[in-house]
Amino acid sequence: MTTAIFYDPVFLEHDTGYGHPESPDRLKSIIRGLRENSILEDSRFKILKPSRASIEEISLIHDPNYVRYVEDFCRKGGGIIGTWGGGVVCSGKSFEAACYAVGAAIDAVKLSMDNIYPRSFCLVRPPGHHAEYDYPYGFCIFNNIAIAAAYLIRFRGVDRIMVLDLDAHHGNGTQHAFYDSPKVFYISIHQDAIFPGTGSINEVGVGDGEGYTLNIPLPAYSDKEVYIEAIRRIVKPIAMEYKPEILLVSAGFDPYHDDPITDLGLTLEGFREVYREVIDISRICSGRIVFCLEGGYNLECLRIAVASVIALMEGIEFDLPREEVYPPPYLKSRALSIIEAVRGIASSYWRID
């Protein structure tokens, strides 16, 4: 079974300026890693150019007036759009890049639901999970993964979608988009007490969506063992009961222990083991799983870790540099206590053994 990789050079044209952590170099490093590991030439992977999402498709999640404002803003040359979180840097081509990023996510979920390419990885910029209904936020312009989920609900009649957000930062935009809906189960594992300041364990949804949002905010230096504990003891049991029709993953690589803007503790090998657990969960939904790139700002980590995760989808493993990370014992204990607290909250809604 072939794994699809969505990519287009247009994503490099989203120019955030000198020294910005969310730069085109991120994707250049990932592509270099794929070449070094012969993934681009391997027949088990299919490189696909995404479609360009329409304003109507983007408006499944965003205010149409906001979408047109971004288009006009970028046509005039760009700059810093909005003031939330310091604003988001846009260039003249950022709107085009953002439309194709959304298009990649929509294409991926269509092909997954049709069992043409059940597994795929969208190598896109700008990222999306912070973008809100009518404003950009945290390097994000449009919420790629949320729009893809909304597309499945509106046009494909999908009733159970699980979104697993593994970025170091909480996906406030994705959570808000489906906070009152049982059709999207949003679970985020993120670093506590950093941008954007949302994602506490008490945020569980409202109305019909109560119990369909779950946040696991971890302390700094949380490592592979902590992540796997959270996935095995919380995410997987819930997925087995919820029975999603497709699993969407906000694939952030900023939980890396040497990321320049976060403080978590995953190693290169840790990413592969964590994502192995996630890929295993997709068995519940007949192997349908779509990854959308979110954050991750250490270029060497992106070069190696993303390739290792994409390769893993076809059962391929290659040697990874050995790294040793030793989280302070008191923080590891704190992380495990948070997992227990979240299990207690989740058990009010779901059967967790």
Cβ-contact 196, 170 below 8 angstroms: yes
**Helical H segments across the chain, by residue range:** 25-36, 55-58, 64-75, 94-113, 144-156, 172-177, 224-230, 236-242, 268-281, 299-301, 307-312, 329-346
Q: Three-state SS for 124?
A: coil
Place of tokens 């408006």: 59
Q: How many CB atoms lie within 10 A of CB 262?
A: 24
Phi, psi of 306 (to 5 degrees): -65, -45
Cβ-contact 286, 158 below 8 angstroms: no
> Phi/psi zone of residue 257: left (φ > 0), alpha (ψ -120 to 50 degrees), beta?
alpha
Tokens of 65: 């007036």
Spatial separation of the C-alpha atoms in residues 46 and 107, rounded to whole Å? 13
Active site includes 130? yes
Spatial separation of the C-alpha atoms in residues 30 and 133, rounded to whole Å? 30
Tokens of 48: 């696909």
Catalytic residue among 62, 130, 169, 170: 130
- Identity of the amino acid at 143: N
Cβ-contact 141, 131 below 8 angstroms: yes
Spatial separation of the C-alpha atoms in residues 298 and 314, rounded to whole Å? 25
Catalytic residues: 130
